[in-house]
């Protein structure tokens, strides 16, 4: 059986397994905004709850699964967080156990979601799986921290580990310094895979591994007869969980705190010509935020730097402190650079723009590179191209599982997730889907893109995270995610 037939068979099997929802009227309605005093009260309430004993010496149990996709093997790592006493696993309003599937942001791996996962399992009794993207798990260290720095003294760079024991060697890529997006990113360092190398074919194939790996992880840990699954992908993880939401039958909702939407919608957000609105009390002109239409090739691995922290810290300080924050720019840069050194334990490379920004030309090229390696014919190649491009947008048509309800949540000082862009771009594009999913939009009047960041001034040791999680809990137990 060829690759296309296998993909079609898998998708059909998933769709036909979709469970019918029980129609009831939801009692809980998410608020439009949450004031600071309510955020503080919610944070105190959740953090002061007694801990539920959970499995594992570190509060989790690691799991590694191996899958075969496009005639290549892939290893994916994840952590499983759940109460020791399974009778204490929380149950939602539909009578099923609550399963939460988490994907991290653009610089990280599964450890980037551990604070969230621990809180959700220890305080709310959820079973949680936090998975690393393909290539992001540090299989080569016992601690699962990445050693050294992502740019080495000899000019080589840190590269993904898609299969335990496999190494991408220096002769498989060239280093490129890109200044095409310098106002937003500064100078970008890229590792460009050489055609015909293992690196090249892995870079072409990982989108299929992400899709298959996410499906396999949820099938294993959240059986459809026991669990309803709720997905959350922070930032870059957002388009990836949106893609997975229609491919797993018992996914019933998307918990979208500071996560980007489907790739083609995020591309529209970034290119919108209207006023994006305010960061804090300050109007921000379009030219300060808007991205040019992205054209990242699939075979270029972005090697992140301190500049990626700086591009978020600037707008966040503008919102919270105003322009006077620039008067202490040396101090700000010292903090950014110190934080960057601490963050070197995380992967700090990125290939996901092709999905998260819906770059159809790059997805097409990746599909064709995979098809050529597999020696597919013209019809099979065209079908594979359609499948790759389909990872950037919702599925539609007869017999397809609809997009599940989406709970949009944004912070007060986020650079990329303003209320204006949601109201003018994101929500209208969700409303245009057929069928349109149920949605809500809540703005928390504190916090930033890294929503778990401590705010000592407001007394929020875990940022707005606890208040966000209590809203999830109210919605899950209050029937909001149940649809007719």
Q: Is the pLDDT of residue 4 over 60?
A: no
Residue 343 pLDDT level (bands cut at 50, 70, 90): very high
The reply to whether 49 falls in a domain is: no
Share of the chain above pLDDT 90, in %: 82
The reply to whether 41 falls in a domain is: no
Spatial contact of 399 and 15, defined as CB atoms under 8 Å apart: yes
The reply to whether 192 falls in a domain is: yes
Q: Is the pLDDT of residue 315 over 70?
A: yes
Spatial contact of 206 and 200, defined as CB atoms under 8 Å apart: no
Give pLDDT, residue 283: 57
Tens-place pLDDT, residues 71-115: 999 999 999 999 999 999 999 999 999 999 999 998 899 999 999
Cβ atoms within 10 Å of 198's Cβ, excluding its own: 17
Residue in the block written with tokens 């949680």: 128
Q: Is the pLDDT of residue 408 over 50?
A: yes
The reply to whether 45 falls in a domain is: no
The reply to whether 39 falls in a domain is: no
- Its domain, for residue 372, covers 3-16+58-478
- Alpha carbon distance 254, 337 (integer Å): 34
| Mean pLDDT value across the chain | 91
More confident residue, 279 or 423: 423
Q: What is the pTM of this model?
A: 0.89
The reply to whether 46 falls in a domain is: no
Give pLDDT, residue 275: 39
The reply to whether 265 falls in a domain is: yes
Give pLDDT, residue 13: 43
CATH number at residue 253: 3.40.50.1820
What are the beta bridge partners of residue 412?
Answer: none
The reply to whether 27 falls in a domain is: no
Give pLDDT, residue 387: 98
Tens-place pLDDT, residues 230-256: 999 999 999 999 999 999 999 999 999
Tens-place pLDDT, residues 256-291: 999 999 999 999 988 774 434 555 554 554 444 445
Spatial contact of 395 and 243, defined as CB atoms under 8 Å apart: no
Tens-place pLDDT, residues 18-69: 333 333 344 799 999 999 999 999 999 999 999 999 999 999 999 999 999 9
What's the domain count of the chain? Answer: 1
- Alpha carbon distance 270, 223 (integer Å): 37
Q: CA distances (Å), 96 to each of 118, 196, 230, 360, 476, in order?
A: 21, 48, 12, 38, 10
Tens-place pLDDT, residues 115-150: 999 999 999 999 999 999 999 999 999 999 999 999
Please say whether the dihedral angle defined by the alpha carbons of residues 138, 143, 147 and 149, taken in this order, is positive or negative. positive
Tens-place pLDDT, residues 436-474: 999 999 999 999 999 999 999 999 999 999 999 999 999
Residue 11 pLDDT level (bands cut at 50, 70, 90): very low
Residue whose C-alpha is closest to residue 294's, from 204, 378, 360, 200: 360
- Alpha carbon distance 359, 369 (integer Å): 16
Average pLDDT in the 361-375 region?
98
Tens-place pLDDT, residues 156-190: 999 999 999 999 999 999 999 999 888 888 999 99
Please say whether the dihedral angle defined by the alpha carbons of residues 154, 156, 162 and 167, taken in this order, is positive or negative. negative
């Amino acid at each position: 059986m060829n690759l296309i037939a296998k993909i079609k068979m898998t998708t059909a099997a998933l769709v036909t397994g979709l469970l019918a929802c029980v129609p009831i009227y939801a009692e809980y309605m998410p608020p439009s905004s949450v004031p600071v005093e309510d955020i503080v009260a919610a944070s105190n309430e959740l953090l002061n709850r007694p801990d539920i004993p959970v499995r594992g010496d570190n509060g989790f149990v690691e799991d590694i699964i191996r899958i075969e996709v496009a005639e290549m093997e892939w290893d994916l790592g994840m952590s499983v967080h759940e109460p020791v006493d399974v009778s204490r696993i929380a149950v939602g309003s539909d009578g099923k156990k609550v399963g939460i599937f988490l994907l991290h942001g653009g610089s990280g791996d599964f450890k980037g979601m551990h604070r969230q996962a621990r809180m959700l399992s220890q305080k709310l009794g959820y079973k949680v799986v936090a998975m690393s993207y393909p290539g992001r798990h540090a299989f080569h260290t016992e601690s699962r921290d990445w050693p050294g720095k992502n740019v080495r003294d000899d000019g080589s760079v840190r590269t993904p580990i898609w299969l335990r024991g496999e190494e991408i060697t220096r002769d498989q890529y060239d280093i490129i310094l890109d200044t095409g997006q310098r106002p937003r990113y500064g100078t970008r360092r890229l590792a460009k895979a050489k055609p015909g190398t293992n690196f090249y074919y892995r870079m072409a194939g990982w989108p299929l591994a992400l899709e298959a790996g996410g499906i396999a992880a949820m099938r294993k840990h959240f059986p459809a007869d026991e669990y309803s699954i709720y997905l959350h992908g922070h930032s870059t993880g957002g388009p990836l969980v949106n893609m997975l939401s229609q491919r797993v039958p018992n996914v019933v909702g998307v918990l979208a705190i500071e996560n980007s939407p489907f790739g083609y919608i995020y591309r529209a957000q970034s290119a919108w010509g209207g006023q994006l609105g305010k960061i804090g009390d300050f109007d921000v002109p379009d030219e300060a935020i808007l991205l040019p239409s992205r054209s990242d090739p699939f075979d270029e691995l972005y090697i992140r730097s301190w500049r990626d922290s700086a591009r978020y810290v600037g707008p966040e300080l503008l919102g919270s402190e105003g322009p006077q924050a620039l008067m202490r720019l040396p101090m700000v840069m010292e903090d950014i650079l110190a934080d960057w050194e601490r963050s070197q334990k995380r992967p700090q490379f990125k290939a996901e723009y092709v999905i998260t920004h819906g770059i159809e030309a790059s997805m097409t090229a990746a599909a064709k590179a995979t098809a050529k390696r597999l020696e597919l014919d013209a019809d099979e190649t065209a079908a594979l191209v359609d499948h790759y491009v389909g990872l950037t947008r919702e599925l539609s048509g007869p017999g397809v599982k609809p997009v599940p309800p989406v709970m949009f949540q944004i912070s007060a000082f986020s650079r990329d997730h303003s209320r204006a862009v949601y109201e003018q771009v994101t929500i209208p594009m969700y409303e245009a889907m057929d069928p349109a999913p149920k949605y809500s939009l809540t703005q928390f009047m504190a916090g930033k893109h890294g929503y778990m960041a401590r705010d000592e001034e407001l007394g929020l040791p875990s940022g707005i995270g606890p208040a966000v999680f209590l809203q999830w809990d109210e919605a899950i137990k209050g029937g909001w995610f149940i649809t007719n």
